[in-house]
Amino acid sequence: MPFLDIQLNDGRKIPSIAFGSGSANKGKDIHTYIEQAIEAGFFHIDTAQQYRNEESVGRAIRESGLEPSTLYITSKYSLKFALPHETPRTALEDSLRKIGVKYLDLYLIHSPRGDYVGAWAEFEKIREEGLAKSIGVSNFGVEELQILLKGAKITPAVNQIRFHPYNYTQLKPLLGYQAKHGIVTEAYGSLAPLTTYPGGPVDAPIKKAAERLGITPTQVIFLWVKAKGAVIVTTSSNKKHLEEYLAVGDLRMSLFPLFSLLILLGFKYSR
């Protein structure tokens, strides 16, 4: 079974795996990588004002020959990197122009800097006008969400956060708060046990699970993220890796006998 869409609290749905144009790709023309991702089967493209490569997304869409409406496009407004006097509305208009679309499927406040409460009020108007079908936030903690929701008319549909087995314990209060309010988690940086913290305590169970199932350690981690109900946001310039990621959608949870052990390790260890 392929990756399924996840229901949002605004009645819309979001594809549960996305190709991210951030990380090492910031400021680069990566339209060929995005085209490759679309060809591999990614239909959710995640970009941001801060990444300085929204034009790459637009070029990739044009050269793919697909109608933009067949894709799910996310971008983000950065209170840190916005130009002087730039508002969420003007930033969005610039993003739409660069990407070459009339609306975004999802528009996020990139981080809780500055007057994010005032920015959210503008986001609500943006959604009402249909310029963004869904709106949400990124890198928000419980306190920031509580402050935001005090005066909000619309609850964020998602919160995109760094999420992996080593910070799971630390994030439990946030995940619980989001579940209470129907806020979907989008997870980036989930491969940290392999890329940032190799040699850690989850290495052994990940390896054992991978060998037992005949899959890769990467797939074990993404299966864990998928089981948490989170949207996976990932990237790669390697087509085989993209195919490896997408294959997780076909893995069945019933075939994961060591999954509970990995979950327990997620509870116990935190960085």
Q: What pLDDT does residue 83 have?
A: 63
H-helix or E-strand spanning residue 221:
helix 217-227
Is 110 annotated for ligand binding? yes
Query: Is 51 tagged catalytic?
Result: yes
Rounded to whole angstroms, the Cα distance separating 86 from 83 reads 5
| Model confidence pTM above 0.75 | yes
Contact 45, 21 (CB under 8 A): yes
- Fold (topology level) of 5-191+230-239: TIM Barrel (3.20.20)
For the chain, list residues with pLDDT below 70. Answer: 1, 27, 82-84, 252-271
Q: What pLDDT does residue 262 have?
A: 53
Q: Which of 51, 72, 116, 245 is catalytic?
A: 51
Q: What pLDDT does residue 222 have?
A: 95
How many residues can be counted in the chain? 271
Q: What pLDDT does residue 94 have?
A: 95
Q: What pLDDT does residue 84 have?
A: 61
